[in-house]
Structure 1
Amino acid sequence: MLSESDISKFENTIGYTFEDKSLLIQAFTHSSFVNEQKINKKPDYERLEFLGDAVLEMLSSEYLFKKYPDKKEGEMSKIRASLVCEPALAFDAEKLDIRHYMQLGKGEEATGGRNKESIIADMVEAVIGALFLDGGIEESKKFIYKYVLTNEESMQMFSDSKSILQEIVQGQNMGQIRYEICGERGPEHDKIFDVCVFVGDKNFGEGSGKTKKAAEQKAAYKAILELKKIK
């Protein structure tokens, strides 16, 4: 259960105090949690996520429209997709510690729901929806600009980091890229994979994820950032 201190902690993190605290609680409440409550059932995050998704699409579109006056619709759509896709939103959510605030049912908890990128990303959108209802479009905009649109170039790299890393390494004739599992954590039903990416014999980055593919993507992203430092 979310405590008052949890709510205050999150409000302090994002720099906004909710008039209606129930909206924030709803944003962090999964349907599995609601289904296990016998009395005093509260709504889950799904309606807020629906609203937040629309607000996020509108504000990210406005941002790109103003920033790139010469780009065509297709180009802007591609950039927007990289910024607001599920892995990118889950990555953004790490700064907010969304996992800590999730209200999940016992079954969802047991099957690793707290680490599912789909749920984490949905809850980010639900928070945007809650902010829109409680504080209006400007509060939603502040949140989106601070946590979603802060590092556009990085998020574009993150969305396709393996391909971008391949292009960089090939262009500089650095050798072969190799991904290796360098660790596994957690029970079988909720395993986290740690992957290292090597260019030649050197380890350029490590990433963790619920799947090997997700861990490889994060490792590749770390490697790109490392290679950019070397330049």
Structure 2
Amino acid sequence: MSGQFCENLSRLEEKLGYKFRDPKWLETALKHKSALEGRDGECNDKLEWLGDAVVGLFIADYLFYNYDKPRSWLSLMKSKWASEECLARVARRIDLGSFVKLGKGEEKSGGREKDSIISSTLEAVVGAVFVDSGSYEATKKVLEKIFLKEESLEFLFLPLNYKGLLQRWCLQKMECIPKYEVIQEDKAFPRYLVGVKINGKIVAYGEGPNKKKAEQAAARQAWEALVAENHRPH
């Protein structure tokens, strides 16, 4: 590794509050698949897969011990907090995008700012800490440091872009994009009532002082209802 790259790894280790025994784990975690440029070699895909499970455990652990709520609510919150958008927000807090190794194409297209890339890199880094330390407790300390700078996870994850969450969910689960329709409009008040349609059917409504906020409110109602239904025991 070059001296500059080693220096960058040290800066990231400071942000994580963890010193790697084998820095190669961290180096691999930061290598996006585009950096291979079609060649054989290691990238962070496998570590991302592991880190996804560890992050999920951390969030479930936090929710279980901090909230006396039913399973459906816990599942809903876990899905929200482990979402691409939320993890990207955590990644930006430690400026993770500046450490990622990308291919030329991704570099030119602004890959360092993409939620998908920095959220998956965060999961890969968590996976690397888990493998390097061999301990969930050691990894948990890192996660607490980067997730819990505020009083609790709620402060980190509010407000959320529910329109973005709903669109990703619809694309993944139903292969469609939600549409928004103004149902009522009172410009004197002002107050808007918006309905959100999925496959042509209105599934939720939202109100707000402008269309943007009303759409976010409708998206939140729809997303929470759909995800809760998806997690309901059969």
TM exceeding 0.5: yes
How far residue 79 of structure 1 moved from its aligned partner, in angstroms, is: 1.2
How far residue 50 of structure 1 moved from its aligned partner, in angstroms, is: 0.1
Q: Per-residue displacement from partner, 1:94-142 (whole Å, max 9, x unpaired)?
A: 1211111010000111122111100100011001100000112112111
Residue in structure 1 matched with residue 155 of structure 2 by the alignment: 154
Question: Contact 1:88/1:158 (CA < 8 Å) preserved in 2?
Answer: no
The residue type paired with residue 122 of structure 2 is: V
The residue type paired with residue 25 of structure 2 is: L
Matches within 5 A, 1:5-154: 5-35=7-37, 42-68=41-67, 70-135=68-133, 136-150=135-149, 151-154=152-155
How far residue 154 of structure 1 moved from its aligned partner, in angstroms, is: 2.5
Q: Distance in 2 between matches of 1:73 and 1:24?
A: 35
Say which SS state the counterpart of residue 12 (structure 1) adopts: helix
Question: Contact 1:60/1:80 (CA < 8 Å) preserved in 2?
Answer: yes
Q: Per-residue displacement from partner, 1:30-89 (whole Å, max 9, x unpaired)?
A: 11111356xxx6411110000000111112112211112x31111001111221111111
Q: Distance in 1 between matches of 2:128 and 2:79?
A: 22
Question: Contact 1:45/1:126 (CA < 8 Å) preserved in 2?
Answer: yes
Q: Distance in 2 between matches of 1:36 and 1:101?
A: 21
Identity rate of aligned residues, in percent?
A: 35
TM-score, normalised with respect to structure 2:
0.64
How far residue 153 of structure 1 moved from its aligned partner, in angstroms, is: 1.8
The residue type paired with residue 5 of structure 2 is: S
The residue type paired with residue 74 of structure 1 is: S
Runs (4 or more) in structure 1 with deviation over 6 Å come to: none
How far residue 148 of structure 1 moved from its aligned partner, in angstroms, is: 2.8
Stretches of structure 1 that go unaligned for 5 or more consecutive residues are 163-173, 178-198, 201-212, 218-231
How far residue 92 of structure 1 moved from its aligned partner, in angstroms, is: 1.1
Say which SS state the counterpart of residue 3 (structure 1) adopts: helix
Say which SS state the counterpart of residue 107 (structure 1) adopts: helix
* RMSD of aligned alpha carbons: 2.8
Question: How many residue pairs were aligned?
Answer: 169
Question: Contact 2:16/2:146 (CA < 8 Å) preserved in 1?
Answer: no
Stretches of structure 2 that go unaligned for 5 or more consecutive residues are 164-188, 193-208, 217-234
Question: Contact 2:29/2:124 (CA < 8 Å) preserved in 1?
Answer: yes
Question: Contact 1:27/1:123 (CA < 8 Å) preserved in 2?
Answer: yes
